[in-house]
């Protein structure tokens, strides 16, 4: 029976059924993109129960906390999974840090977004050439920017799935406990959202899950650019900075 790749239909499916559908349809052209936080770990556990050979990749930005590598190894041990690490282009990182310094993300929102472009967005774009579809651990409850996250969307010819978009934080915790899923060590220290080490802090009671990301910024949104496209003036400023970096990297 042919698979129905209709966003409205896929939106109606529970997480496990959605993953079973897309894994069966795309096979090796499907992967899980994860940073091994609790939401991503739910996706990993669900998918590997369906097909232990499901591909998993992660972005090693060069600034990850050591604890992220610890949970990565826990996943390898627990599931026997092969994790594909994706790295930024060394020449681009060298050019960026030469022009703007290693901690450029502290200087301005545009420079922080530039760092995310070089270390995360561009490596992701290169990796996605290998796939027709990928799944992520986004949930609508996580932040205002993610409140309208669809479970399935076709973006530039590639399918992006968020199987647990409609789950609550309590549902995530219940699943992780029930299946004894490996946890990122920083979660128990007050980090509900974990990215690069210098750009992440614990959150206080009453703060949103994403409050610990780029907390020094007063504007710009709490996204790195992987899930949203910057618009207006900020996009133009970011493009200028990126063009400078790419030109320097080619020299």
Give the Å distances, CA to CA, from 50 to 15, 58, 128: 12, 20, 22
Which sign does the torsion angle of CA 123, 105, 143, 194 carry? positive
Q: Which residue, among 93, 87, 25, 81, has the nearest Cα to 53 in the 3D structure?
A: 81
Q: Residues 115, 116, 199, 224: which is the catalytic one?
A: 224
Give the Å distances, CA to CA, from 211 to 115, 139, 244: 19, 15, 31
Q: Which residue, among 17, 63, 19, 68, has the nearest Cα to 44 in the 3D structure?
A: 19
Burial group, residue 156, by CB count within 10 angstroms (0-12, 13-18, 19+) = exposed
Q: Which residue, among 56, 72, 82, has the nearest Cα to 134 in the 3D structure?
A: 56
Which sign does the torsion angle of CA 128, 13, 37, 224 carry? positive
Pair of tokens at residue 108: 């301005």
Q: Does 196 qualify as catalytic in the annotation?
A: no
Residue with tokens 């200028």: 240
Give 86's strand partners: 59
DSSP string, 54-82: -EEEEE--S---HHHHHHHHHHHHHH---
Catalytic residue numbers? Answer: 224
């Amino acid at each position: 029976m042919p698979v129905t790749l209709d966003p409205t239909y896929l939106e109606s499916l529970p997480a496990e059924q959605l993953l079973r559908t897309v894994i069966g349809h795309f096979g090796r052209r499907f992967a899980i993109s994860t940073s091994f936080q609790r939401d991503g770990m739910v996706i990993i556990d669900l998918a590997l129960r369906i097909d232990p050979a499901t591909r998993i990749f992660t972005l090693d930005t060069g600034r990850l906390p050591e604890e992220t590598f610890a949970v990565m190894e826990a996943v390898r041990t627990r599931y026997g999974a092969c994790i594909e690490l994706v790295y930024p282009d060394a020449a681009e990182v060298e050019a960026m840090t030469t022009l703007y310094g290693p901690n450029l993300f502290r200087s301005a929102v545009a420079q922080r977004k530039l760092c995310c472009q070089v270390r995360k967005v561009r490596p992701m774009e290169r990796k996605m050439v290998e796939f027709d579809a990928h799944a992520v651990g986004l949930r609508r409850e996580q932040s205002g920017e993610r409140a309208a996250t669809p479970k399935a969307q076709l973006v530039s010819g590639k399918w992006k799935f968020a199987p647990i978009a409609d789950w609550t934080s309590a549902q995530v915790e219940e699943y992780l406990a029930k299946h004894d899923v490996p946890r990122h060590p920083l979660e128990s220290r007050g980090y509900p959202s974990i990215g690069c080490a210098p750009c992440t802090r614990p959150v206080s009671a009453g703060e949103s899950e994403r409050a610990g990301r780029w907390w020094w910024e007063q504007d710009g949104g709490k996204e790195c650019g992987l899930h949203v496209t910057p618009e207006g003036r900020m996009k133009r400023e970011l493009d200028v900075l990126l063009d400078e970096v790419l030109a320097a990297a080619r020299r």
